[in-house]
Amino acid sequence: MFRPRPEARPATVSVLVEGRAVAVPEGASAAAAMLLAGLIATRESAVSGAPRGPLCLMGVCFDCLAEIDGVPNRQACMVPVAPGMRILRQRGAREALR
């Protein structure tokens, strides 16, 4: 779990993480938004269904796969937040966790 430092980055964007509105700093990724929203496990693994969270945040590990604006299997760490973006956790290979 991460906490923002508004003194360093005051400008925010409002996104929906699991349906809940969260204000996250401009320039953050969708994966960062999930971490800032208090999610620790951001998806379930494809084989055993074990909880997972982002590992690298730089496009290498694919452990941040999420459903963003209705499109599953997106590397959430490579997608910058935009106002109103809808971000959902992902179960297994591609089913959203609802």
Partner 1 sequence: MTRRDLAVIGAGPAGMGAAIEARARGLSVLVLDENAGPGGQVFRAALACGRDPAVAPEIAPGLPLIEAFLACGAEYRPATTLWHLDPEEGVLSLVSGGVATEVAARRVVLATGAQERPVPIPGWTLPGVMGAGAAQIMLKTAGAVPAGRTVLAGQGPLVWLLAVQLARAGAPPLVLETRTVSIASALARAGGGLLAGRRMLAKGLALMAEARRLGVRVVAGVRGLRAEGAGRVERVAWEGGGAPCDTLLLHEGVIPSVHVSRAIGLDHAWDAAQACWRPVTDAFGATSCPRVAVAGDGAGIGGWEAALAAGRLAGLDAARRLGALDEAGFAAAAAGPLAARRAALALRPFLDALYAPPAAILSPHDETIACRCEEVTAGAIRRAARIGATGPNQMKAYLRCGMGPCQGRLCGPTVAALIAEARGIAPEAVPPLRPRAPYKPITVGALAATAAPAQQGVA
Taking a C-beta distance cutoff of 8 angstroms, is the pair 23, 34 a contact? no
> Which one among 54, 67, 81, 87 touches ligand FES, defined by CB under 6 A?
54
> Using the 8-state DSSP alphabet, how is residue 23 labeled?
E
Structure tokens at 50: 């074990």
**Whole-number minimum distance, CB 86 to ligand FES, in Å?**
18
> Contacts with partner 1 in 22-61 (CB under 8 A)?
24-29, 32, 35-36, 40-42, 45-48, 50-61
> Which one among 23, 46, 61, 97 touches ligand FES, defined by CB under 6 A?
61
Integer Cα distance of 61 and 73 in angstroms: 13
Q: Which of 4, 9, 11 is nearest to 83 (CA)?
A: 11
> Which one among 62, 86, 91, 96 touches partner 1, defined by CB under 8 A?
62
Bridging pattern class, strands 86-88 and 12-17: parallel
Residues lying near ligand FES in the complex (CB under 6 A): 31, 54-57, 59-64, 75, 77
